[in-house]
């Protein structure tokens, strides 16, 4: 059964409520305002493909088949930034750019195994500007690896605008999925307290 926009939004509202009640003793990174485009992107992602995500991963996890109650339990246990599931071929990390070389290695392994599956790597627009992204992108393209990058551009890294940091953004290659959205929640938390 596919996950709806309403289910995605309601899930994040549920996390917000318990976070504000002090029941989650670790940072949470909530999604919002990008439900429609993610639902569309995940129509192309096979359930057996690998999905790599960053600290803002709840939507990706739900759309790739991690059950809502399982995901919620992990978040309650302080693992919002590190949702991983071998059963669902899903991996996330809070290390900026940390998922990129792992996604690259996974794509190389799939190619060597002659697998039909792909690797999908979701990164932010500031991570897209890093050297590790450009090196791994070049390697994947040159060796024709089954790795697809998705750049989610909210023009922020934590609270630093990407375009001010680099003066301008790099050109997006045509084989990368790229979309812009305005972040609904702050970098972490829910906005009910002052962010450091």
- What domains lie within the chain, and their CATH numbers? 5-180 (3.40.50.970)
The per-residue pLDDT for 170 is 81
Q: Which residues of 62-79 are buried (b: 16+ CB within 10 A; e: fewer)?
A: bbbbbebeebeebbbeee
- Range list of β-strands (E), 65-154: 90-92, 119-124, 147-153
Residues 55-107 pLDDT 10s: 899 999 999 999 999 999 999 999 999 999 999 999 999 888 999 999 999 99
Q: Is the pTM of this model over 0.85?
A: yes
pLDDT of residue 192: 62
Work out the pLDDT band at 1, boundaries 50, 70, 90. Answer: low
Q: Alpha-carbon distance 80 to 15, whole Å? A: 10
Predicted confidence (pLDDT) at residue 123 exceeds the cutoff of 80: yes
């Amino acid at each position: 059964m596919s996950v709806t926009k309403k289910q995605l939004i309601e899930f994040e509202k549920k996390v917000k409520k318990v976070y504000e009640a002090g029941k989650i003793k670790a940072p949470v990174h909530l999604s919002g305002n990008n439900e429609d485009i993610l639902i569309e992107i995940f129509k192309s992602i096979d359930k057996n493909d690998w999905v790599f995500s960053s600290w803002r991963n709840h939507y990706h996890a739900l759309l790739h088949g991690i059950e809502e109650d399982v995901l919620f339990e992990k978040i309650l246990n302080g693992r919002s930034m590190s949702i991983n599931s071998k059963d669902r071929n899903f991996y996330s990390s809070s290390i900026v750019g940390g998922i990129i070389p792992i996604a690259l290695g996974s794509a190389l392994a799939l190619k060597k195994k002659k697998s039909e599956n792909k690797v999908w790597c979701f990164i932010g627009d500031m991570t897209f500007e890093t050297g590790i992204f450009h090196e791994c992108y070049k390697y994947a393209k040159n060796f024709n690896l089954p790795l697809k990058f998705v750049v989610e551009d909210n023009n922020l890294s934590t609270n630093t605008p990407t375009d001010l940091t680099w003066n301008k953004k790099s050109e997006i290659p045509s084989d990368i999925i790229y979309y812009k959205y305005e972040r609904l929640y702050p970098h972490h938390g829910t906005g009910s307290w002052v962010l450091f």
